[in-house]
Amino acid sequence: MAKPIMVQGTMSGAGKSLLVTALCRIFTEDGYRVAPFKSQNMALNSYVTKDGLEMGRAQVVQAAACGKEPDVRMNPVLLKPSTDTGSQVIVKGEVLRHMPAAEYYAFKSELIPSVLEAYESLAAENDIIVIEGAGSPAEINLKKDDFVNMGLAELVDAPVLLAGDIDRGGVFAQLYGTVALLEPNEKERVKGLLINKFRGDVRLLGSGLDQLEELTGVPTLGVIPYLRVKLDEEDSLAESLSVKTAQRPVDVAVLRLPKISNFTDFAPLENHPVLGLRYVESVEELGSPDLVILPGTKSTVADLLWLRQTGLEAAILKLAARDVPILGICGGYQMLGEELDDPAGIEQGGTFRGLGLLPLRTVFEAQKTRTRVRARLLEPVRAKLFEGEEGTSPKEVLLDGYEIHNGSTRVTDWDVLGQGTSSFCKILEEEKEGGVAHVDGFTKGNVFGTYLHGLFDSGELTEALARWLCFRKGISYEALCPKSHDEEQEEELTKLAAAVREALDMDAVYEILGLAGPKNS
């Protein structure tokens, strides 16, 4: 069985996900078979595996750090908040049901067998399992039947590294207070402290580190610098959604919906040197962008009504009438239609008017669509995107992504087809096990919609979109040749691992694991 090591944090946002990702890459570079594991994840950024199961996006990045295909065993329980007090509960990649927080707290002990089954299956195939905790182990009100922090560490006999966030201040109090609130047997599991997100001269921490070790009895194994890496975020909206790159020549505005999900779709746009991406939540912030994006959402109807109440719906309609391109993805695509019908009460129940920019009707259904797909942009869309390239026929643009949504969307007026309208892309038959090729999405004039998440990851659509928006503005698009999202993620993973390896006492980490050191040394 694999040897486990667990990274816990003094709070949410302490940097556990990045530290686990770094350790996954370091151990992999050192010749070990490695897998990440997070028993319970709470996030609106989810991912669909090749076998059509749903898992947290953070473990997808961690799997990439290990050179592995994402596997739902890496995240057996996923909570997707749908209200302020409740979440959709997903177990082993399948939706169980929606539960209010109190009901889930009473129910969660029943999930322990599924969690252990997933862990033991992974452990049988690997040398090291790097486990990520959730929140803080000092949440003493939640300790009963815990299987995400010290409870899980006990179940799988994992040593723990405890990380604190110095960037928020009070890191010594964070670390000391967390250790002080642990039970004696839990304290024994904490083998090292980590100070994360440090800016400055580490020598200034010297006396504080000595006192911290005296108080806790636990050595500090590393002071990790504040790392600016461009990796997909898990569920922390603060950093990703504060992206403002308006100094770049093309202005792209993404609606920051209250229940926004899968905003990792836009990481390739954030990183493109031509596209200035910003998230907006008011008419004043929206202004007059070159492209408006309505993203995915966990609560399409609620966020549609929010657009209406804030005046953003009217502002979007005015921009569309001025020929500003509008793109809707998943829930955003559903909003662009004429009507959203929820007869079974999947969201709120009832029938709701959409933005009316596309001739579509969506009916919400209990069965969730979850599938990995490859797709090809249809010719009318390609012709539009490449209209600025004289003397060339529209290029093929392949997309590699996934669908994850409730509901089906149908065209309400087939007579409009061929009048500046078409479907958005064709889902390729060879990527649909037992299925047939079909079309997805819709485009009418300057309005585009699709169910496909991850549509920008390959880089082909990103570059085509950037060139087209530059053409519309009369800007000369230089041959910048941006890297694909996957290539950039790989470079960032290597950079992250190198920085953490330099700051962390890896000899001590290997000793904690009971291993001699790098396997390939």
Residue pair 186/178 in contact (Cβ under 8 Å)? The answer is no
Residue 232: per-residue pLDDT: 66
* Topology match between the domains 3-231+489-513 and 250-474: yes
* Residue (of 493, 508, 471) closest to 220 by Cα position: 508
For residue 122, pLDDT beyond 80: yes
Per 3-state DSSP, the chain is made up of helix, strand and coil in percentages (nearest 5) of 35, 30, 35
Q: What are phi and psi of 127, to 5 degrees?
A: -90, -35
* Residue (of 71, 86, 85) closest to 35 by Cα position: 71
Residue 141: per-residue pLDDT: 86
**Across the chain, how many H-helices and E-strands are there?**
18, 27
Residue 239: per-residue pLDDT: 47
Q: Which of 335-339, 430-434, 477-481 has the lowest mean pLDDT?
A: 430-434
* Residue (of 389, 19, 476) closest to 221 by Cα position: 19
- Residue 133 CA to residue 127 CA, distance in Å, equals 20
Reply yes or no on whether 453 is catalytic: yes
Q: For domain 3-231+489-513, is the CATH number 3.30.2350.10? A: no
Helix axes 16-29, 485-503, angle to 10 degrees: 90
Total residue count of the chain as it appears in this document: 521
Residue pair 131/172 in contact (Cβ under 8 Å)? The answer is no
Residue 482: per-residue pLDDT: 61
**pLDDT category, 483, cuts 50, 70, 90?**
low
Residues 488-513 have pLDDT tens digits of: 789 999 999 999 999 999 999 999 99
Residue 388: per-residue pLDDT: 65
Catalytic residue among 24, 66, 272, 330: 330
Residues 374-421 have pLDDT tens digits of: 899 988 888 888 876 654 555 788 888 899 988 899 988 777 766 678
Name which residue leads in pLDDT, 293 or 82: 293
For residue 491 the two structure tokens come to 């470079």
What does the domain layout of the chain look like in residue ranges? 3-231+489-513, 250-474
Average pLDDT for 98-108:
92
Residues 162-220 have pLDDT tens digits of: 999 999 889 999 999 999 999 999 999 999 999 999 998 888 898 899 999 999 999 99
3-state class (DSSP) for residue 206: helix
Reply yes or no on whether 405 is catalytic: no
When mean pLDDT is compared over 42-51, 254-263, 303-312, the highest value belongs to 303-312
**DSSP-assigned letter for residue 148:** S
For residue 388 the two structure tokens come to 């600025």
Looking at every residue in the chain, the average pLDDT score rounds to: 89
Q: For domain 250-474, is the CATH number 3.40.50.880? A: yes
Other beta carbons within 10 angstroms of residue 37's beta carbon come to: 27
Average pLDDT for 281-305:
95
Helix axes 485-503, 57-65, angle to 10 degrees: 70
Helix axes 312-321, 300-310, angle to 10 degrees: 80
**pLDDT category, 240, cuts 50, 70, 90?**
very low
Q: Which of 110-124, 156-170, 225-239, 467-481 has the lowest mean pLDDT?
A: 225-239
For residue 473 the two structure tokens come to 């503005």
Which residue has tokens 């390739």? 268
